[in-house]
Structure 1
Amino acid sequence: MNDSVEEIGGVRVLVCAADGEKLAGEADINDFLSKAWEHEAGLVAIPVTRLGDNFFRLRTRLAGAVAQKFVNYRMRLAVIGDISAWIAGSDALRDFVREANRGQDIWFAADLAELRSRL
């Protein structure tokens, strides 16, 4: 399956395929941003299957680096999929997700249907 572009609620969204290169380190962030710019997207929807485990371990600072870079480049990000197991094991991650979902730049959604309803 390939990445695709959808217009959702007036926003051009790069929907990343479930399989493909992972965002496993800071060096990988630019690959996702580049694809978004290539497709003139304003939001990138990345499935949890494309995120390395370090993203969900806040002590690695990867999630913070990803969020900061996306915000700096004015690109919105949605993490799509079930992260309940990660949240159950980390109060800090639960708080991070809750705060992110209150904003407009970084969201965590269970599926694309939830993302569509937010947009």
Structure 2
Amino acid sequence: MRIIDHDGIVVQHLDEVGPVIATSADTSDLIGNAWAAQADLVAVPVSRLDPEFFRLRSGMAGEILQKAVNYHLQIAVVGDISEHLAASEALRAFVAESNRGQHAWFVPDEAALEAQIARIRRV
């Protein structure tokens, strides 16, 4: 895990390898660890999310993202989700809408995450 301060926005970057986030308890642990690190945003690698996260009907994405928002924590899913996007029009719409907001983003890499952080600073 790395903590990086992006001009006042503290980002907790989870390691690529580690426990998969698959349950409400996992989400609570994620949020608790972010709070302990005094992070404003958690960058979660795609590899750390249960594949069900990308199947919107499972409700997992909504639950995880809403819980983060409820605790005033931004979240970014970092990595290639092109296979998931190709398989689901609903997911494509969800990702596009999320990326327009300020709370949850889907970005291909850390450079794109930095661009999103810069965008919200201008808003």
Residues paired across the two proteins, number:
117
Task: Provide Cα deviations, 1:28-47, integer angstroms capped at 9, x if missing partner.
Answer: 10111011011000000000
Report the AA paired with residue 98 of structure 1: A
Task: Provide Cα deviations, 1:12-37, integer angstroms capped at 9, x if missing partner.
Answer: 00000000011112221011101101
For 1:61, the equivalent position in structure 2 comes to: 59
CA distance in 2, matches of 1:98, 1:61: 18
Runs of 4+ aligned residues of structure 1 deviating over 3 Å after TM superposition are none
Which of 29, 32, 35 is equivalent to 1:31?
29
Flag structure 2 segments of 5+ consecutive residues without an equivalent: 118-123
How high is the sequence identity, in percent, across the aligned residues? 44
More helix by share: 2
Tell whether the 8 Å contact from 1:9 to 1:116 is kept in structure 2 after alignment. no
CA distance in 1, matches of 2:3, 2:39: 8
Which of 84, 87, 110 is equivalent to 1:86?
84
Which of 74, 77, 85 is equivalent to 1:76?
74
Q: CA deviation at 1:105?
A: 0.2
Task: Name the TM-score, length of structure 2 as normaliser.
Answer: 0.92
CA distance in 2, matches of 1:66, 1:7: 24
Task: Name the TM-score, length of structure 1 as normaliser.
Answer: 0.95
